[in-house]
Amino acid sequence: MIVKIRTYGIYGHILDGLNSIVLEDGRPNVRMVLDRITSIHPELNDKLYDKDGRLIEYIIILKNGRNIDSLNGLSTGIEDGDEITLLPLISGG
C-alpha cells in the first residue's frame, strides 16, 4: 500500500523530498506511518515525540485534509492512496 506524504516547515526540510512510503501491514494506522517515516529519517523522531514517546503538542497531522484529532488520533486507519500531512504549529504575537 502506498501512502502519500506532504510536509511543511521543519518536517519538509528533514524529509528532504520524501513524498510517499510503502506499508505492508494489513491494517495500518497513522502511528505506523510515522514509525515508517522515522525509520527512514530517525532525526525526525525528536520533532514528533516528547521524551516519553507521546506526540508533541506543536504538530498538526492531517489524513486526507482532516485533523486526526477529530478522527481516532494515531490509531486512525490508513488506506491505499491516503495522504498524511505533517504541519508544524506556529504561534507568536
Residue-wise pLDDT tens digits, 38-81: 999 999 999 999 999 899 988 999 999 999 999 999 999 999 99
Q: CB-hemisphere CA count at 13 Å for 18?
A: 24
Q: How far apart are CA 39 and CA 58, in angstroms?
A: 21
Q: What is the dotted CATH code of the domain comprising 2-88?
A: 3.10.20.30
pLDDT given at position 93? 64
The torsion of the CA quartet 42, 47, 53, 56, rounded to 10 degrees, works out to -160
- Rounded to whole angstroms, the Cα distance separating 72 from 18 reads 25
**Beta-carbon neighbour count of residue 37 at 10 Å?**
23
Report domain extents, the chain.
2-88
- Residue 24 pLDDT greater than 90, yes or no: no
Global pTM exceeds 0.75: yes
